[in-house]
Amino acid sequence: MSSDDRLDLEFAYTTYQDSCRDIYSPHYYCRRPVGHDDVHAAGFGPDRLRWDHQRDHLPHKVVEQQS
């Protein structure tokens, strides 16, 4: 299972209320469960977006290596 497939599943099973909701932009907030490991993520298919967000810094887009 690819990391994109895993994210699709996480998004499908995480309600808005239980999601992290870290804001990347007005159109993207994190849909992973609150307290998740690793990067924040949002969007489906070609709109998939991952980002890192350190305290006191702007969100930083993370590009996943395609294998």
Q: How far is the CB of 56 from Zn ion (least distance, A)?
A: 17
CA distance 56 to 67: 33
CB nearer Zn ion, residue 7 or residue 32:
32
Residues that bind Zn ion (CB under 5 A): 20, 22, 30, 32, 40
H helix or E strand, kind and range, residue 6: helix 3-13
Measured from the CB atom, the residue of 40 and 49 that comes closer to Zn ion is 40
Three-class secondary structure of residue 33 per DSSP: strand
Smallest distance from Zn ion to CB 34, Å: 8
